[in-house]
Amino acid sequence: MTTNETKACWIWYTGDFEVYHSMLLNDRREQNGFDYTCMWRSTRPEFNVRFNANVDIPEDSVFTVHVKGKGYLRLDGHSQRIDIPVHITRGRHELRFEVSCLETFPALYIDSEYVKTGADWNCERYDEIWRPVGCEPAMTSPDDDPAVFPFSYEDTPVRAKENVDSGSLLDFGTETFGPVTVTRTAAMGKILISYGESREEALDYEHAIITETLESGEDSVTMRSRAFRYLFVRTENGAEPTVTAKLEYIPIEDKASFSCDDELLSDIWKICTRTFHLNSREFYLDGIKRDRWVWSGDAYQSYMVNRYLYFEPSIIRRTIRALLGKRPAVRHVNTINDYSAYIIIAVWEYYFATGDMDFVNAVWDDITDLYHFIVSRLDEKTGYVVGRPGDWIFIDWANIDKDGPLCAEQILLWQTYLSMARLTALRGETDPGYQEKADALKTSILRDYWDEERGAFIDSYTSGKNWVSRHPNIFAILYDFVDQNTKERIAANVLHGDLAEPITTPYFKFFELMALSKMGDIETTQNYIDEYWGGMLKLGATTVWEQFDPRKHGVEHLEMYGMPYGCSLCHAWGSGPIALLGQFCAGVTPTSVGYETFDVAPQPGRYQHFDAVVPVQGGTVAVSYRDGKVKARATVPGGTLKFAGKSCEIPTDCDAVIEA
């Protein structure tokens, strides 16, 4: 049982909090005046569940039960009501609560001297499988409602106001997200409000992605939380309602920082972190204006940025559970084959970074179910990932030869097998054949896709085109699919050579820069950051855009997907430099589970000097480079500084120093 010192918290059926809030989130997308409901199956939380604990009660006492929904208690097998205080006698007792909730999801809270709900309780959904309950550290008061996500709020002042035509254009100074309140009089009549990430979007009521029409009234109205920098407000009589806004956010403190002689970088770092925080919500959003959904590929990159910015595992856990939903999987995650693979790979990477085996166990049945779904759709003969009806073989918005099974998908499948093999071993279970399947698949891939002559993987072996794109070759490097020598050939032929077309999306550019940096070329990354992120900065970006093409001009930057303001101006994947600089320039990577040991192998590249702080599990490591010397000091043991072919232990009480 929870000890007296532990704080009681609301408990629910494992995963229900994430399932419920992802259902709300999936349902929140709006676009050009209609509700754009989610395009994949969003599952619901349980309706009725049991909560169980055995308690040792030192004296006859009483406790009060708080419940979301309704139910009763079986105290040592005897049913009794819970809407009045429960009497319990001295001694050992079994508590079993039977709770149902129609409106949201069943949850229970007890905070008495001897009975406290907490993470050590178990739950069951009437399937006789008892599992540890779900709970959230923010849900510790009887007044908390688990169905209301615990966001924080702070006032966001208007920075500038301008009269345009017959309305007011409010500029909040930077991209923001939150509820807007309109205080008005009846005389103002109907009020038209258009939200804009850009000035142009706000002023274009007809084409702005998000608009709201308030019918005549005199109450003050708070609209749902949305993304904006600008608001354009018009009334029928030309009077100005009072408009105030709040920032809605999760308070997370950054652990990382980075500065160097490249002065652009401090501003780039700022827009990257602002972008990332705005997208760090219940789960990782792709972008805060649109789609406002959780996409597994985008989220996979956010997990990496998380570890290099604030190292907050809870959002990763919540995001993975939201994407998994309730078993059984009936379709690929977000309908995309590669996005299912990223989940299983991400669970392994999450474990390797945190050592959090409880989470692996909590989602084990879900990822096993997803794994079986993936495998059930492989080609019967070749064992390759193929596009079945309803599948979306994505990889990237790019010119990839998608005839037949795609090489990049097979490398992800190989990494999926390996991740399952590793996780199975961790659970102390016998590998039912994951490693064997990985090995067999590798042999097939090398036979079917490897072009020895050109030293590169081709996209497809069925079309006869032998087209080389960067994507499978990047994966081969990132997932160590081939040996060092082959990786170097690939880097030379594909990444630095002209065998393949350039990557055009910031999404895959992140993977490419990781691969380049991993192969020792940090300078390309450094230059690209200046060029791409610096390019947006020059155009006044306050957060990072969904895409940026320096060849475009003016409002052309705002259009995408055939819509004049279709491009999201605050897209999570734009935060990549945080992970790239932390992992490859500062050079911090775990070398064993939970950063029990980690390497710090700085690559200054073209920076003359830099000062970085990078999170590790349980602490941080400060890394700097100046005058040909690297220094490192960590708040936790286990680090090894590596530079210029030398290495030394990183102490916690002074700096390790290596001179080139």
Q: 546: which 2 tokens?
A: 């969904």
Which residue's CB is nearer to its own copies, number 88 or number 581?
88
Q: How far apart are CA 360 and CA 110, in angstroms?
A: 27
Q: Can you give the length of the chain in residues? A: 660
Selected binder of its own copies within 6, 39, 531, 550 (CB under 8 A)? 39
Site for its own copies contains 194 (CB under 8 A)? no
* Closest to its own copies by CB, 125 or 255: 125
- Among 1, 38, 221, 555, which residue sits at the site for its own copies (rule: CB under 8 A)? 38
Closest approach of its own copies to the CB of residue 605, in Å: 46
| Contact range with its own copies by CB under 8 A, out of 38-46, 337-345, 408-416, 571-579 | 38-46
Position among 148, 164, 330, 660 found at the interface with its own copies (CB under 8 A): 330
Q: Does 98 bind its own copies (CB under 8 A)?
A: yes
Burial class from Cβ neighbours inside 10 Å (0-12, 13-18, 19+) for residue 219 reads exposed
Least Cβ distance, residue 138 to its own copies (angstroms)? 23
Give min distance, CB of 338 to its own copies, in A: 18
Compare residues 73 and 272 and give the one whose CB is closer to its own copies: 73
Residue range at the interface with its own copies (CB under 8 A); choices 95-103, 443-451, 473-481, 488-496:
95-103
Structure tokens at 573: 């994947």
The phi and psi torsions of 149 (rounded to 5 degrees) equal -70, 135
Cβ-based nearer residue to its own copies, 24 or 192: 24
Kindly report whether the peptide bond that precedes residue 291 is cis, defined as omega within 30 degrees of 0: yes
Contact 358, 312 (CB under 8 A): no
Q: Let me know: does 478 contact 518? Beta carbons within 8 Å.
A: yes
Least separation in angstroms between residue 123's CB and its own copies is 12
Judged by CB under 8 A, does residue 660 bind its own copies?
no
What does the per-residue mask of binding to its own copies show for 335-354, with x meaning CB under 8 A? x-------------------
| Only segment of 2-10, 80-88, 296-304, 637-645 that touches its own copies (CB under 8 A) | 80-88
- Our CB check for its own copies shows the closer of 44 and 224 to be 44
Q: How many residues bind its own copies (CB under 8 A)?
A: 45
Q: 169 Cβ partners below 8 Å, 6+ apart?
A: 161, 162, 163, 199, 202, 203, 230, 231, 232
Q: What gap in Å lies between CA 12 and CA 134, rounded to an integer? A: 5
User: Distance of CA 398 to CAs 167, 192, 337, 549, 577, Å?
Assistant: 42, 39, 16, 15, 22
State which of residues 54, 79, 89, 237 lies at the interface with its own copies (CB under 8 A): 79
According to DSSP, the β-strands at 61-63 and 86-88 are antiparallel
Restricted to residues 58-77, the positions that interact with its own copies (CB under 8 A) are 70-72
Q: Return the closest-CA partner of residue 179 out of 233, 252, 243.
A: 243
Tell me if 48 contacts its own copies by CB under 8 A: yes
Q: Cis peptide before 328, with omega less than 30 degrees from 0?
A: yes
Compose the 278-317 pattern: x for residues touching its own copies by CB under 8 A, - for all others. Answer: ----------------------------------------
**639-643 and 646-649: which strand pairing?**
antiparallel
Among 14, 15, 18, 26, binds its own copies (CB under 8 A): 26
- Alpha-carbon distances, residue 210 vs 23, 34, 180, 206, 402 (angstroms): 21, 9, 13, 10, 35
Residues 328, 520, 550, 628: which binds its own copies (CB under 8 A)?
A: 328
Q: Give the Cα separation of 457 and 226 in Å (integer).
A: 43
Query: Among 250, 199, 192, which residue's Cα sits nearest to residue 223?
Result: 192
The sign of the dihedral angle between the CA atoms of 313, 319, 320, 325 is positive
Specify the residue, 103 or 452, whose C-beta has the smaller distance to its own copies: 103
389 binds its own copies (CB under 8 A): yes
Shortest CA distance to 416 belongs to which of 473, 300, 299, 338?
A: 338
| For its own copies, the closer CB: 73 or 456 | 73
Closer to its own copies by Cβ: residue 432 or 550: 432
- Do the Cβ atoms of 542 and 271 come closer than 8 Å? yes
Residues 587 and 602 sit within 8 Å (Cβ to Cβ): yes
Q: Quick one: 30 or 197, whose CB is closer to its own copies?
A: 30
Q: Name which of 45 and 355 has its Cβ closer to its own copies.
A: 45
**392 touches its own copies (CB under 8 A):** no
Q: By CB under 8 A, is residue 365 in contact with its own copies?
A: no
In the complex, minimum distance from the CB of residue 512 to its own copies, in angstroms, rounded to a whole number? 32
Rule CB under 8 A: say whether 24 interacts with its own copies: yes
> Which C-beta is closer to its own copies: that of 369 or that of 530?
369
Stretch of residues binding its own copies (CB under 8 A), selected from 99-107, 228-236, 450-458, 648-656: 99-107
Q: Is 10 helix (H, G, I), strand (E, B) or coil?
A: coil
* Residues in region 121-180 near its own copies by CB under 8 A: 125-128
**How many C-beta atoms lie closer than 10 Å to residue 383's C-beta?**
16
Q: How many CB atoms lie within 10 A of CB 479?
A: 16
Chosen residue from 9, 55, 65, 82 binding its own copies by CB under 8 A? 82
Using rule CB under 8 A, residue 190 touches its own copies: no
Does the protein bind its own copies through residue 37 (CB under 8 A)?
Answer: yes
CB atoms < 10 A from the CB of 62, how many? Answer: 13
The residue ranges that bind its own copies (CB under 8 A) are 23-24, 26-27, 32-48, 70-72, 79-83, 98-100, 102-103, 125-128, 327-328, 330-331, 335, 389-390
